[in-house]
Amino acid sequence: MRVLVIGAGLGGLSAAAHLVGDGHEVTVLERGSSPGGRAGIIEQDGFRLDTGPTVLTMPNLLADTFRAVDREMADYVTIDTVDPMYRAVFDDGSVLHVRHGRAAMTEEIREFANAREAGAFNEFCEWLTELYELEMPRFIEANYDSAFDLLKPWRAMLDLVRHGAFGALDSKVATFFEDERLRRVFSFQSMYAGLAPREALALYSVITYMDTVAGVFAPRGGMHAVATGLARAVTEAGAAIRYDTDVLRILRNGEGAVSGVDLGGDDRLPADAVVCNADLPVAYRTLLGGVEAPRVARRGRYSPSCLLWVAGVRGAPPVSAAVHNFHFGEDFDEAFKAVIKRGVRMPDPSTLVSIASIGDPTRAPEGCSTLYALEPMPNLDGKLDWSRNGARYVDDLKHRVGQLGYPVDDVVVERTFDPLDWESMGMERGTPFSLSHTFRQTGPFRPGNIDKRVPGLVFTGSSTLPGVGVPMVLISGKLAARRVDHYARTTSLLRL
């Protein structure tokens, strides 16, 4: 089949890899001048600054994506282990290094807390592993046609119930750990799914599995290197990628199947199927004129957004700093309520400060460092007036990063991204984290990757199945390719 992929984000590139591997004729159309989408980079004055994801988990999924085009990941991108994976700094001044590997982490917890908590960590890892093994093949790496599909693997569903996956995540974590700080470290990952640990179901602890058990990694040169590596692999395998190419409309045969895309002027490209990596609600509004987006995409709850400040600076980070440093604010529950429920800033913001140059000397010139500071913020459904107060929020963030001991006084390169920027980059409600993963917005309840009204159209990326984050969008590309294959088979049968 001739397949056009709109967008060379990691979701689009993964779809392209699986489609080429399955023998389709693939052209990727990307409006930007390089691949990666949110996995962006600023290269200036010898600095390489990430502008999107920095925490790589589950590199095996990335290796699978390269394997789809018969390539070895190591020939395209170098993946380094990050250890400690995080440095967690609590408001009482205590510090926990979240170590790579279970044995090292058990020791760390023994010293940080006590032997009981160290033992609990092992039990927690066992539970997380079982949960992951239940969920991944049957519920995450799965296409859904209806809610009943959830019940088909009924044994696994019963096992999930037995594992307490449908209780509250924070209560489940509390059954393992007594130390409040450990409870935080092993439950804050729900934030990646747009939820407070109190409201998330324990089944989302699978995200905690992905970093705590499976480990945190860093692509050498930044997450953008993953995108350029994948783009090279898919083109070598036969796909074409056209950059600086903005798709204006998805073309259809009347009100029926897709027939190609409109690039403006008289430039139209024909296709038998179209895979769309643009943010799904935005794609419905702008590319599919007249087809209303699924209700959940229009009326659903979107994840919080973030304010991001990235900088290349002269000077060294504090000796105690790790690659990823979580500085937790005082009242954890209140922080989540502020951002998610009330749509305002955290009263005492938790902040992530990442310094890629600590582990990767290719990222900054001699004597210099990279800084990446991220504060969770409400999305544009919240109450903040970014046009009026955005500059003040940025100053607050920079000031806080300085107070935490990072070198902020001699900035060489810098850039900020706020929810208005994310919105102008095509992200619904100004959040890069899409619809939050409440149960009613997950699996069969998330906007599907196909739409019966538009045969031949398939979505990939974080706004459809299975969800947000680099591992998930790599899987979404594979799921999209399966849909195209199925479509190819059914349309060829119809022609017989």
Contact residues toward ligand FAD (CB under 6 A) are 6-12, 29-32, 37-39, 52-55, 246-247, 277-278, 306, 308, 426, 432, 461-462, 468-470, 473
Nearer to ligand FAD, 31 or 337 (CB): 31
Sign of the alpha-carbon torsion through 189, 190, 196, 202: negative
Nearer to ligand FAD, 31 or 67 (CB): 31
- Pairing state between β 249-252 and 86-89: unpaired
Q: Shortest approach of ligand FAD to residue 59 CB, angstroms?
A: 11
Nearer to ligand FAD, 306 or 394 (CB): 306
Nearer to ligand FAD, 12 or 382 (CB): 12
Nearer to ligand FAD, 4 or 109 (CB): 4
Q: Shortest approach of ligand FAD to residue 278 CB, angstroms?
A: 3
Q: Shortest approach of ligand FAD to residue 47 CB, angstroms?
A: 17
- CB of 305 within 8 A of CB of 419? yes
Q: Shortest approach of ligand FAD to residue 111 CB, angstroms?
A: 27
In whole angstroms, what is the distance from residue 278 CA to residue 365 CA?
35
Q: Shortest approach of ligand FAD to residue 427 CB, angstroms?
A: 7
Q: Shortest approach of ligand FAD to residue 366 CB, angstroms?
A: 27
- CB of 366 within 8 A of CB of 313? no
Three-class HEC string of the chain: CEEEEECCEHHHHHHHHHHHHCCCEEEEECCCCCCECCCCEEEECCEEEECCCCCEECHHHHHHHHHHCCCCHHHCCCEEECCCCEEEECCCCCEEEECCCHHHHHHHHHHHCCHHHHHHHHHHHHHHHHHHHHHHHHHHCCCCCCHHHHCCCHHHHHHHHHCCCCCEHHHHHHHHCCCHHHHHHCCHHHHHHCCCCCCCEHHHHHHHHHHHHCCEEEECCCHHHHHHHHHHHHHHCCCEEECCCCCCEEEECCCCCEEEEECCCCCEEECCEEEECCCHHHHHHHHCCCCCCCHHHHHCCECCEEEEEEEEEECCCCCCCCCEEEECCCCHHHHHHHHHHHCCCCCCCCEEEECHHHHCHHHCCCCEEEEEEEEEECCCCCCCCHHHHHHHHHHHHHHHHHHCCCCCCCEEEEEEECHHHHHHCCCHHHCCCCECCCHHHCHHHCCCCECCCCCCEEECCCCCCCCCCHHHHHHHHHHHHHHHHHHHHHHHHHHC
Q: Shortest approach of ligand FAD to residue 489 CB, angstroms?
A: 26
Q: Shortest approach of ligand FAD to residue 287 CB, angstroms?
A: 6
Nearer to ligand FAD, 150 or 248 (CB): 248
Nearer to ligand FAD, 143 or 462 (CB): 462
Q: Shortest approach of ligand FAD to residue 31 CB, angstroms?
A: 4
Nearer to ligand FAD, 272 or 421 (CB): 421
Nearer to ligand FAD, 85 or 113 (CB): 85
Nearer to ligand FAD, 182 or 230 (CB): 230
Produce one character per residue of 376-396: b if its CB has 16 or more CB atoms within 10 Å, e if not: bbbbbebebebeeebeebbee
Nearer to ligand FAD, 109 or 207 (CB): 207
In whole angstroms, what is the distance from residue 157 CA to residue 146 CA?
16
In whole angstroms, what is the distance from residue 467 CA to residue 210 CA?
14
Nearer to ligand FAD, 120 or 225 (CB): 225
In whole angstroms, what is the distance from residue 434 CA to residue 193 CA?
9
Q: Shortest approach of ligand FAD to residue 153 CB, angstroms?
A: 26
Q: Shortest approach of ligand FAD to residue 49 CB, angstroms?
A: 12
Q: Shortest approach of ligand FAD to residue 333 CB, angstroms?
A: 23
Nearest residue to ligand FAD on Cβ basis: 9
- Name the burial class of residue 366, with classes exposed (0-12), middle (13-18) and buried (19+) by CB atoms within 10 angstroms of its CB: exposed
Q: Shortest approach of ligand FAD to residue 125 CB, angstroms?
A: 20
